[in-house]
Amino acid sequence: MRAETRPRGRNAVDKSLTSAPLGALEEAFHAMVARSRDEPPAGHDERLDRLARLRAVVADNEERFRQAISADFGHRSAVETTIAETMLVFSEIRHATKHLKSWMAPQRVATALQFLPARNRLMPQPLGVVGIIAPWNYPLQLTLAPAIGALAAGNRVLIKPSELTPHFADLLKETVAARFDATELLVTDIENEIAEAFARLPFDHLVFTGSTRVGRIVAEAAGRNLTPVTLELGGKSPAIIDASADLDEAAERIAYGKLLNAGQTCIAPDYVLVPEPALQAFAEKVRAQMRRMFGTDPANKDYSSIISDRHYARLEGLVADAAQRGAKILQPAKADDPNWKAHRKFPPTLIVGATEAMAAMQEEIFGPVLPLLGYRDRTEAIAFINHRDRPLALYWFGKDGAARDEVLARTISGGVTINDCLFHFTQINQPMGGVGASGTGAYHGEWGFRTFSKLKPVFYRSRFNRLADLYPPYGGKIARLEKLMRFMS
């Protein structure tokens, strides 16, 4: 019978975590670590089975997840949950299932001439236990997308959902427990004590999606265990309207990118740089598109609510501060209609002529509020972006290829969509990740598999190789070998 031994070294749990109510969390983590160390890594068929069961969790409860997420938001557009969450999860699982065999295969690596006929290989192996601290804004997709990569790589996964989505968290915990052993995939409770302790567990890899502020706290906690982290953060993602842009087209696409999920999207355009002569005209075009898409009725089922009263009040404060500092506030509907707040829906809002002194330009907005700023030339627009933290996303609109390429070359961001918003995130063959203050690491498709794998270098020595000439006593043979190696280098 296999002996159950407590993990030692970096996987030993901090004793401060063992007091109630954290004992269950510590025991769950310990059980996963023990199984990952004591049992052979999951093979191809077992990983496929786990992915299939995860798909069944979502497919069999799709409507329940829609309702739970809507309950957490106050109202969440069912269509947005389907297209921005459920369908993306299905796509990730389908892609991983299709390519898993090739991802798992050892990779051939070239061998230097002087070591031939030896061979080099990279062997993908699971890291062990992966922790996921999930956000509230897209709770299904942003929880399960990294889990898919971790399971495909053969890991065991422990998930901590957001405290702001309790209905979703309860449902995910129930449905996962019905199909997975607790040492394969487990969803924790969401008490504050667990949230604070989760990042201090010595995971083999930790994923956090959320704000830059909390990301720093998570990274510091993980750093005490030398736990590698993938941080998917946010920041102020800019959109640039080039002088060559079609303003009507850009207005429509920016309105959609900003108002999806009522702006509660980490890669939503956070502000727009517009050529000064076109600023007012562009603002009116965006307002018209917002009205066309979502109307003026707060009861519109296509328009999602703000997650909490606290977040709603924060958005009110950003708009009030901008108005007090001289910005022009444009809204497609009357913002003083009490039905907006009754539905916890914030009216789509444009801050025209925003300045750096305004609070809306100093913090990530994360809501349906969009500052518009005028710029004089491309150099000024690029400098404005580069003098701030690296954004998670950048959007450029225009037809001038040289201008586009200059912006791409001179700015750094997590990802870019040209002449649209958001859609670089949906490209499963591209990595999703930030840079600097907007995050570190990446996942999606094979990128997720590699993030949650150790690509172990293996050197296979050939019996015919002259490596024994390196052994002492050295004498003249080492001089000859050195001469040969210098010649080949």
pLDDT tens-digit profile of 330-348?
Answer: 997 776 788 999 999 999 9
Q: What is the mean pLDDT of the chain?
A: 93
Instruction: Please give the residue that has the higher pLDDT: either 172 or 12.
Output: 172
* Active-site entry in 80, 232, 252, 364: 232
pLDDT tens-digit profile of 358-416?
Answer: 999 999 999 999 999 999 999 999 999 999 999 999 999 999 999 999 999 999 999 99
On the question of pLDDT at 3 being above 50, the answer is: no
Any idea which residue has 């497609």 for tokens?
332
440, 433 Cβ separation under 8 angstroms: yes
62, 89 Cβ separation under 8 angstroms: no
Give the Cβ contact number of residue 150 at 10 Å: 31
Q: Dihedrals φ, ψ of 154, to 5°?
A: 90, 15
Q: What is the mean pLDDT of residues 433-451?
A: 96
Task: Please tell me the predicted confidence (pLDDT) of residue 281.
Answer: 98
pLDDT tens-digit profile of 28-57?
Answer: 999 999 999 999 999 999 999 999 999 999
- Could you tell me the two tokens for 270? 């956070």
- Could you tell me the two tokens for 14? 């901090």
Task: Please tell me the predicted confidence (pLDDT) of residue 1.
Answer: 36
**One-character DSSP codes across 326-389:** TPEEE-SS-TT-HHHHHTT-PPPEEEET--TTSGGGTS---SSEEEEEEESSHHHHHHHHHTSP
Q: Which domains does the chain have, with CATH numbers?
A: 9-233+442-453 (3.40.605.10), 238-433 (3.40.309.10)
Say whether 232 is catalytic: yes
pLDDT tens-digit profile of 204-247?
Answer: 999 999 999 999 999 999 999 999 999 999 999 999 999 999 99
103, 156 Cβ separation under 8 angstroms: no
On the question of pLDDT at 196 being above 90, the answer is: no
Q: Dihedrals φ, ψ of 239, to 5°?
A: -120, 135
> pLDDT confidence of 9, banded at 50, 70, 90?
low
**Percentage helix, strand, coil, to 5, in the chain?**
50, 15, 35
The DSSP bridge partners found for residue 157 are: 130, 185
The DSSP bridge partners found for residue 418 are: 396
Q: What is the mean pLDDT of residues 298-319?
A: 97
Strands 349-352 and 328-330: antiparallel
On the question of pLDDT at 4 being above 70, the answer is: no
Nearest to 176 by CA among 196, 147, 197: 147
Say whether 184 is catalytic: no
What percent of the chain lies above the pLDDT cut of 70? 94
pLDDT tens-digit profile of 116-151?
Answer: 899 999 999 999 999 999 999 999 999 999 999 999
What percent of the chain lies above the pLDDT cut of 90? 85
Distance spanning both ends of the chain, measured CA to CA: 53
Question: Rounded to whole angstroms, what are the CA distances from 43 to 126, 127, 416?
Answer: 10, 14, 36
Instruction: Please give the residue that has the higher pLDDT: either 6 or 409.
Output: 409
* Active-site entry in 266, 364, 421, 446: 266
Q: Dihedrals φ, ψ of 252, to 5°?
A: -65, -45
- Could you tell me the two tokens for 379? 């150099």
> pLDDT confidence of 6, banded at 50, 70, 90?
very low
On the question of pLDDT at 259 being above 50, the answer is: yes
Sign of the CA dihedral 279, 282, 284, 286?
Answer: negative
Please enumerate in sequence order all residues whose Cβ is within 8 A of that of 312, keeping only pairs 6 or more positions apart, or say none: 306, 341, 344, 346
Please enumerate in sequence order all residues whose Cβ is within 8 A of that of 475, keeping only pairs 6 or more positions apart, or say none: none
Return the minimum-mean-pLDDT range out of 163-167, 189-193, 320-324.
189-193
